[in-house]
């Protein structure tokens, strides 16, 4: 579907799925509480889970956060450093919100999560819509995130408009950071790592105010089948699928998915949700996932796998 037509749907208070560099989003006008309510309905998302607001330019941040005069100069400097270095890109920044952002977007929190996606279709959609887009990942709550338009259609077949931008380049949801006067706190791991962030600003010594980020839920992003780490449970390999980094130790499994033959963790991240969707759709009883090295984006991969496995842990 054309971007122009999708923007028209957004302007009329509707909901549209669109590609970003991380995962596909389910967007509506972030300034229209009724439009945003439709996202929660479609996703079957609990109202305590706040949404990310997507912008088309860094300067738009200041339209939606507390008056810059109330802000400490250091916090403003940090915003500038972060956006110069990482926007457009897979970094979401949580800041105190102003009244233009309806409470439904932030689930009543005094803060709003903002991000400028690095995808030409997404940016064009935001520009043509003439408003920021509130958008969670375009999946049912708690289920696998979509990295292709096909994945979106699988979980949300009732959706009228799905813009197709091909497979997502990064493949894992954005890093979410809370920005305070003295530095940052990571609320969700992603392609931009703590080491990347520490190069330009300090780690905050303060606790994040309000509720902890639902991104910190222990169980999330689950496939519709049990997922185990090797050795966690005895499985019948002939009825199981194996997800591994380099495609090793595959003997006996009914189905296998290799994340990156060369062991490149960025490539692995880009292939992770595709592999999980493939396993979810296959005729197998369970999924075994080999751990990956926990360096760089490997931390975010393991975070998603642990959340997927958590439901199936025996106490």
Q: Interface with Mg ion by CB under 5 A: which residues?
A: 137
Residue with tokens 């500038």: 80
Q: Can residue 276 be called a binding residue for ligand TXA (CB under 6 A)? A: no
Which C-beta is closer to ligand TXA: that of 105 or that of 227?
105
Footprint of ligand TXA on residues 76-105 (CB under 6 A)? Answer: 90, 92, 94
Q: Can residue 51 be called a binding residue for ligand TXA (CB under 6 A)? A: yes
Q: How far apart are CA 113 and CA 106, in angstroms?
A: 8
Is 111 annotated in a binding site? The answer is: yes
The secondary structure of 114-174 as a DSSP string is EE--S-HHHHHHHHHHTS-EE--BSS-TTBPPPSSHHHHHHH-TT-S-B----S-SS-SPP
The interface region with ligand TXA, picked from 81-89, 168-176, 244-252, 303-311 by CB under 6 A, is 168-176
- Residues whose CB is less than 8 angstroms from the CB of residue 50 and which lie 6 or more positions away in sequence, other chains included: 105, 106, 107, 109, 112, 113, 214
- List C-alpha distances in Å: 204 to 62, 85, 184, 198, 298: 22, 19, 5, 10, 23
Is 137 annotated in a binding site? The answer is: yes
Binding site partner of 213, from ligand TXA, Mg ion, none, Cβ cut-off 5-8 A by kind:
ligand TXA
Footprint of ligand TXA on residues 207-266 (CB under 6 A)? Answer: 213-215
Which C-beta is closer to ligand TXA: that of 38 or that of 246?
38
The CB-nearest residue to ligand TXA is 215
Residue 88, preceding peptide bond in cis (omega within 30° of 0): yes
Binding site partner of 82, from ligand TXA, Mg ion, none, Cβ cut-off 5-8 A by kind:
none
Least Å distance, CB 16 to Mg ion, is 17
Q: Can residue 187 be called a binding residue for ligand TXA (CB under 6 A)? A: yes
Binding site partner of 92, from ligand TXA, Mg ion, none, Cβ cut-off 5-8 A by kind:
ligand TXA
Look at the chain and count its residues.
Answer: 315
CA atoms within 13 A on the CB side of 10: 30
DSSP state of 209: P
Q: How far apart are CA 152 and CA 160, in angstroms?
A: 11
Strand partners of residue 222: 143
Q: What residue numbers does the annotated binding site cover?
A: 22, 45, 54, 111, 115, 135, 137, 145, 174, 188, 221
Q: Which stretches of the chain bind ligand TXA, using CB under 6 A? A: 20, 22-23, 25, 49-52, 90, 92, 94, 106, 109, 111-113, 115, 117, 135-137, 173-174, 176, 187-188, 213-215
């Amino acid at each position: 579907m054309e971007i122009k037509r999708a923007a028209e749907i957004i302007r009329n208070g509707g909901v549209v799925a669109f590609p970003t560099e991380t995962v596909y989003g389910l967007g509506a006008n972030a300034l229209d509480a009724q439009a945003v309510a439709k996202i929660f309905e479609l996703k079957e998302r609990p109202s305590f889970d706040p949404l990310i607001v997507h912008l088309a330019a860094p300067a738009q941040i200041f339209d939606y956060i507390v008056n810059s005069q109330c802000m400490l100069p250091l916090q403003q400097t940090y915003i500038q450093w972060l956006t110069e270095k990482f926007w457009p890109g897979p970094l979401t920044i949580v800041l105190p919100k102003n009244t233009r952002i309806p409470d439904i977007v932030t689930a009543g929190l005094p803060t709003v999560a903002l991000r400028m996606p690095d995808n030409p279709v997404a940016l064009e959609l935001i520009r043509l819509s003439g408003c920021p887009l509130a958008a969670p990942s375009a999946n049912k709550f708690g289920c696998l995130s979509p990295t292709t338009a096909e994945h979106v259609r699988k979980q949300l077949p009732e959706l009228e408009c799905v813009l197709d931008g091909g497979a997502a380049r990064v493949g894992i949801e954005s890093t979410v950071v809370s920005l305070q006067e003295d530095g940052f706190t990571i609320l969700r791991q992603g392609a931009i790592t703590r080491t990347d962030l520490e190069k330009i600003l300090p780690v905050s010594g303060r606790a994040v105010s309000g509720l902890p980020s639902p991104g910190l839920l222990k169980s999330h992003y689950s496939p519709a089948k049990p997922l185990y780490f090797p050795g966690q449970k005895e499985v019948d390999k002939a009825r199981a699928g194996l997800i591994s980094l380099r495609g090793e130790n595959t003997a006996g499994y009914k189905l296998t998915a290799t994340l990156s033959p060369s062991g490149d963790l960025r490539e692995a991240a880009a292939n992770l949700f595709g592999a999980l969707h493939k396993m979810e759709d296959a005729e197998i009883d369970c999924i075994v996932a080999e751990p990956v090295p926990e360096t760089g984006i490997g931390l975010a991969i393991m975070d998603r796998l642990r959340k997927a496995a958590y439901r199936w842990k025996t106490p």
